[in-house]
Structure formats: C-alpha cells, structure tokens
Amino acid sequence: MAQTPHRVIPASESARQHALDRYHVVDTPNESVYDDLVRIAAHLCGTPIALLSLIDRDRQWFKARLGLAEHETPRNVAVCAHAILEPGELMEVPDLARDPRFASLPIVIGEVRARFYASMPITTSDGQAIGTLCVVDRKPRMLDPEQRDWLQSLGRIAMGLLDAHARRYQDEVEVALGTRRAPEPEPGPKENYRIALLEVQRYAAVVERDGERAVEKALLAMEARFEACLAPEAGDRINRVSASAEFVAVLMGDDGEARLDALRAIAKEEPARTGLSVLVGGAVSEHGDEGLNAVFQRADADLSRQKDEAQTGEALLSPG
C-alpha cells in the first residue's frame, strides 16, 4: 500500500516562512533571469527538469521551471520540502523510487516518472532555507563532483537574485511611502498614522488564467475603489508597489482606523467582484514621529499573520 504523503516542517517553520514573506516574491510573474538560471542548471547537470522552488505555507511554488508544466504543487508531496531541512547542504537522491520517503509521491509514480533528484537549498543570510534550486532526471543516476559544485554555486546565485529583488521591493516601498525624500523637520508633535499593505494573492496564476490585460484592468478598478476610501485632505495616500499586485496606503490621523476598516471591507468584496483575493496587513504608529519604515515592517508582519490565519482556515475547511 502506498504511503500517505505528509507535510515535513522545519523546527523554525514560523521564522522560515516569515523570512520568505519578507521577500515578496511568491506569486510574482515570470522573469527571464530566473528562467535562464534553471536552463543553466539543467544544462550543467544534464537533466531534462530544473526548478527554482519556493516553499510556501501549503505549497511549493516555482519562480522558474524547465521541463515541468505545473506552476506549483502541494507542499506535502514536494521533495524540496525535505531539502530545506538542511539549509546549507546539497541534497541528492539517486533513485526516488527506491527511497521510502518519496517512492509514492506523484512526481515519481505519475506522468513525470522522476527517479533522480538533487537540490541546493536557497538560504538567507540569517540561515533560513526559503526554497531550493533543484534538478530532476527520469533515470537513476548521481551528479559528478563538478556538477555538485555548479549546483551549489547556482544556488548561491539564486539567493543573490532574490536578495536583489527584495532590495528593489524595499526601494519602491520607500518611494511609495515618501521616505526617499528627506522632509524638513516640522515643529511640535505630529499626528499618529496607519500603514496598510494590501496584497493580491496568487497573482501570477491569475495573470496566466485571465491574461495580463484583464488583470491589470481589474487592479486599476480596485485601486480606484481603495482611493475612494481615503481622505486626501488629511494627507492620506496610496501607491502600487512594483509590477506586483500590492498597494501601500498611509492613513493620517487618529480617525485613520475607520478608513483602514473601509479598505479591509473593499478587499473582502474583491473575490466576488473581480475574482481576486486580497489580504490586508495594517499597523499604527506608536507616536507621530515614528519612522514610516518601522511602521511598514509591522504592517508587513501583520500581513504574514493574515496569511497564517488564512492557511489555518483553509485547513479547517478541507475534507478529511
């Protein structure tokens, strides 16, 4: 009888997951530089399949893929979910069909018929393995020493690309928040404010399903609805960040909580209106002079908590 796949969880899963969240890369559209990276990995290792896999809460999502049709798979059937348990170590499985951990997985017994697997965990500077660069073959085999060195090097390059993505994201957040400009200090106390971070979920999959133009039209209409909740005369503002589907709103004054609630209400209506699911993270300044970046980081952490709660809710609703 085939084993029932189970989810493998690192000891520091919460910290690992929130480290991935801070990169804001899951569900972003395809980018040629990542596609090139997996092509190089497949060529150097002599495999028909190569993937840049990010391990999210309940799935592995492929930022780039070669030789595999799926954009993502459930986490509990992902070989890469085992690889991240050893952040600094290359993982190599000569024959998946002969390894009891993997013999019953869909990638082995299904259409792909995978047999060989090797991966290098993509590990942040503070030691969190957020994904892998992996290669897969349909016949049992081993990498030679030079191929192992190449895969390790390419894994480090992948992490460098993700770090650069995170820096670009932060730069655009600073532009959205207005912290790129150094305002003249104002006398007297400043009013409290709130920051809301609104993120469309599974953006890349929706773009592939509905087309970029249709999704962009829906996002523009959504942004207009968000803007209608704001009080520009009070200094409120909202900006879209990067080419992703995220918005950052700054809500001024103690009555900003009501406008944050209005944004949350709009977000809650979006699945029925546009088919887009939106999560909202929010945070309030501890005092009027607190820096925007510090409050943004708390809003980002709150968004991670919303994702945790959404996953828990989905698990409770799942049959069995």
Answer whether 27's CB lies under 8 Å from 203's CB.
yes
Report pTM. 0.84
> In Å, what is the CA distance from 85 to each residue of 12, 80, 90, 102, 245?
10, 9, 11, 15, 31
Residue 290: per-residue pLDDT: 86
> In Å, what is the CA distance from 249 to each residue of 76, 116, 194, 206, 267?
36, 47, 8, 23, 13
Both tokens assigned to 86: 């050893």
pLDDT at 139 over 60: yes
Residue 7: per-residue pLDDT: 63
Q: By C-alpha distance, which of 88, 139, 95 is closest to 79?
A: 95
Question: What is the DSSP-derived secondary structure letter of residue 75?
Answer: G
Rg (CA), the chain: 22
Sign of CA dihedral 169, 239, 255, 288: positive
pLDDT at 187 over 60: no
Q: What are phi and psi of 60, to 5 degrees?
A: -105, 130
pLDDT at 50 over 60: yes
Residue 5: per-residue pLDDT: 56
Question: What is the DSSP-derived secondary structure letter of residue 11?
Answer: T
* 71-86 average pLDDT score: 95
